[in-house]
Amino acid sequence: MPNDKKASTSTKSAIQALVFDAYETLFDVSSVATSLEQKFPGQGAAVSAAWRAKQLQYTWLRALTGQYEDFWKVTESALVFVCNDMKLHVQGGLQVQPAPVERAARAKLMDAYLHLEPFPEVKQVLQSLSAQRLAILSNGTLAMLQGVVENAGLKKVFSQIISADEAKTYKPNPAVYELAVGKLGLDKHKIGFVSSNFWDVAGAKAFGFRTYWVNRSGAPEEELGVRPDATLRSLSDLGSDSF
């Protein structure tokens, strides 16, 4: 799939900062499957996929209903639901909820979110963009984001790590994208936003960011009435000539 570049030279030159989504863009959330497989042999990948889907669903539902809880709690709640829904048991036949031993097992699985693996191209791409102002804007709590960034060896890469927790809601609510404008001190049209989640790209585009969709799987665009400014096969396509 070719790199889809439509921006004019004047638009490209206006970009003064690149803001990255974290989960599924920089960090592979499916890498938690290794820890899950140890607890639930033969079901690690399935649990990982269901966990991520429920995690996102809970962010949207909590944003819509105004019943905010931070992303760490949302992530844990999603894990509990999936384990109950799939009738999973930790090794030794103990149910995941609610005894103290099960809470300890949950804590260990949750810790995997602080050690997500970056996608293979991430470190090299970010190094190549070191002359640019780089930031993260994510639903994750600040502690979660700082943890995964440090554990991935990327601590000194980003000028800002911005958590939706400050807005007490979740993407794609415009209030979350507005955080980047305030933190970076830039007009929204001077910010490029990079995400592998099309719904996130759609929210950022509607807000006014220039958007880059990292479409690693070759998926079709969602029918949401907006299109990304550029579609990339991986972060490796995000060269200096992209903005």
Distance CA(29)–CA(34), nearest Å, equals 11
Can you spell out the DSSP letters for 38-90? HHSTT-HHHHHHHHHHHHHHHHHHHHHHT----HHHHHHHHHHHHHHHTT-EE
Q: Which uninterrupted H or E stretch holds 128?
A: helix 122-128
* Token duo for residue 15: 């970009």
Among all chains, which residue has been given the structure tokens 């799987």? Answer: 217
Is 111 catalytic? The answer is no
Hey, CA dihedral for 65, 71, 73, 78, is it positive or negative? Answer: positive
* Identified catalytic residue from 4, 21, 28, 111: 21
Return the active site residues: 21
